[in-house]
Structure 1
Amino acid sequence: MNNTVIDAHNISKVYNPETIPVYAINNVHLHLEKGEFTALVGPSGSGKTTLLNLIGGLDKPDNGNIFINGIDITRLSANELINFRLHNIGFVFQSFNLIPVLTARENVEFIMLLQRIKKRNRENRITQLFKQIGLEDRINSRPAYLSGGQQQRVAVARALASKPQFVLADEPTANLDSKSASNLLDIMDKLNKEEGMTFIFSTHDPRVIERARRVITLVDGRISSDTAVVETSIPHHINS
C-alpha cells in the first residue's frame, strides 16, 4: 500500500531571476507520508513558508514537480488547482483568516458549501468538529467574540471540514498565549494520533517542535537536516 501523500522533486522558487536571483527554495526534495506530524523549522528567510505555500499550491515553483497523491499539481491550471486545494488540502494561518461577519459555525460550513455537501452531512460534520475542538458552546459566536486561541481552533475545524489529505499550518501558535497554544496543539496531536490526520507545520515555536515526530530544518532555501523523533523522544537523524 502506497502511503505517500507528498512527493516533491527538485523544486526551486527564485525571485528577481533577471537581475540578482534570490533562491527562496533551492533544489529541494521532500517526501511525506500519511499520518506524519512534521515541523519545518529554520531562521527567518530560510524558506519555510515558501515551501509550505508550494506544497499547498498557493504558489508555483520555477523548477521541479510536486506530486500529491500521485497528481502533479505544478501541471494543473489555475481553476484545476483551486478545485484540488478545496478537496485535498486544509490550511491554518497565523492570523486565523476567519470571515468576521460569519459565526464560527458558518466559517466552518462555508468550505462545505463550496464543496456542495448535502445539508445533513454538513450538520453531522460540524457537530463532530466542534466537539473535537471543544467549542460546542461558542458555535454561534462571531470571531470578534472569541479569544485568539478559540479563533485558531475554529480555523483548525475549518481546515478539517473538507476531510483533506493533509493540513498545512503556517506559524499556527505565533499569536497565541502559552495556554491557548498548548490547547491547540493538544487538539492537533490527538487528531494525528487517533485519526491519522497529516499535519505539516512551518514554525519557530519550540512548543510545536517538541511535539513533532519529524523535524526538517531549512537554511537558505535548502534542507540542511531531516530528523525523525522516535517514541523515546531521542532524535534519530535521517540525513543531513
Structure 2
Amino acid sequence: MNVIETKDVSKIYNPDTIPVYALNKVNLNFEKGEFTAIVGPSGSGKTTLLNVIGGLDDASNGSVMIDGSDILKLSGGKLIDFRLRHIGFVFQAYNLIPVLSAKENIEFIMLLQNWPTKKREDRTKEMLEAVGLKDKSGSKPSQLSGGQQQRVAVARALASKPRFVLADEPTANLDSKSAENLLDIMLKLNKEEHITFIFSTHDPRVIKRARRVITLEDGKVVSDIQQNTEQALARQ
C-alpha cells in the first residue's frame, strides 16, 4: 500500500530567467514500513526532496500525496498539525532548541502532542538510554558535542513514534559505533512499529542497511533499486 506518492514533483529556481531544477518531475511511491536511502552527489536534490515530502518546502509543480491527500495543498495550520502528528524530522543542522536541555528537547514534540506526563517522561528516559545520553539529560545543546547533539535530534524525532521519519544525513557527525547504534534503533522501530524511514545520505553504513536505494542526479531519479542484505554488503 502506497502511503507517500510524489507525482511530477519539480522545484525550480529562477523560472522566469535561467531556470535551475532542484527537482525535475520526480515520481516515486513509498510503502508503509520502508527503510529507504536517497543518494546522489551534493546538489542532486536529496534534501530538497525530503523537505518537499515533509511539507517544509513548496514544489513548483506536482503533488505529494500522503494517504490520498495532497499535503502541498494543505493550509498553514493543517500542514503544521499534520507534520506534528505524523512526521519526525532529523536535520543535518540538528535544529535543537538552545535554551532546553537534552531531556526537554526530546520530550518537546510529545509535550505538543499532549502525551500524559508519566508516559512522556518514561519515553524520554527510554530514548536517552537508547542513544547513550542518560548522563547528559540536563545538558543544553551548547554543552554537547556535535555527535551528541545529533543523537538528541534523532531521539527527538523517534520519541513520539511518528508514522514517517525523514532524516537528512542523520549519521554525518557520528563515530562508527554511535552511527551503528542509532541505525539499530531505527531498524528496530521500523520492524516493530512499522515506521517508514526515508534517508538522505552519503553514508555507506546507511546505504548498506537500506532495503531500497534511490539515486538522484540533477534533480532526477536515475535509479531505484530494491536490495537485500547480501546485495547491500556487496556494495561496500
TM superposition score normalised by structure 2: 0.91
CA distance in 1, matches of 2:101, 2:42: 34
Return the match for 1:91 from 89, 92, 113. Answer: 89
CA distance in 1, matches of 2:192, 2:9: 32
Q: Which residue number corresponds to residue 121 of structure 2? A: 123
CA distance in 1, matches of 2:72, 2:112: 23
Return the match for 2:169 from 129, 153, 171. Answer: 171
SS of aligned partner of 1:59: coil
SS of aligned partner of 2:147: helix
CA shift at 1:197, angstroms? 2.1
CA distance in 2, matches of 1:194, 1:113: 24
Tell me the amino acid that sits aligned with residue 228 of structure 1.
Q
1:53-111 per-position Cα deviation (integer Å, ceiling 9, x unaligned) = 10010011111111112221011012211111111110001122212221111001211
CA shift at 1:127, angstroms? 3.0
Greater helix content: 2
Tell me the amino acid that sits aligned with residue 62 of structure 1.
S
Q: 1:74 to 1:232 in 2, by over 3 A?
A: same
Aligned partners of 2:207 and 2:232 also within 8 Å:
no
Aligned partners of 1:149 and 1:184 also within 8 Å:
no
Q: Which residue number corresponds to residue 200 of structure 2? A: 202
CA distance in 1, matches of 2:161, 2:177: 27
Q: 1:151 to 1:106 in 2, by over 3 A?
A: same
Tell me the amino acid that sits aligned with residue 30 of structure 1.
L
Q: Which residue number corresponds to residue 140 of structure 2? A: 142
Q: 1:163 to 1:57 in 2, by over 3 A?
A: same
SS of aligned partner of 1:194: helix
Tell me the amino acid that sits aligned with residue 107 of structure 1.
N
Return the match for 1:29 from 17, 27, 32. Answer: 27
SS of aligned partner of 2:65: strand
Q: Which residue number corresponds to residue 11 of structure 1? A: 9
CA shift at 1:234, angstroms? 5.8
Aligned partners of 2:214 and 2:221 also within 8 Å:
yes
Q: Which residue number corresponds to residue 185 of structure 2? A: 187
CA shift at 1:182, angstroms? 2.5
Tell me the amino acid that sits aligned with residue 98 of structure 1.
L
CA shift at 1:175, angstroms? 2.2
1:182-217 per-position Cα deviation (integer Å, ceiling 9, x unaligned) = 332232223223332221111112221111111000
SS of aligned partner of 1:160: helix
Q: Which residue number corresponds to residue 63 of structure 1? A: 61
Structure 2 unaligned runs (5+)?
Answer: none
CA RMSD, aligned part only?
1.8
Q: Which residue number corresponds to residue 52 of structure 1? A: 50
Name the stretch that deviates more: 100-109 or 45-54.
Answer: 100-109
Name the stretch that deviates more: 112-121 or 59-68.
Answer: 112-121
Aligned partners of 1:159 and 1:167 also within 8 Å:
yes
Name the stretch that deviates more: 97-106 or 189-198.
Answer: 189-198
1:135-185 per-position Cα deviation (integer Å, ceiling 9, x unaligned) = 333322222333333322221121123321110110112222333323322
TM superposition score normalised by structure 1: 0.89
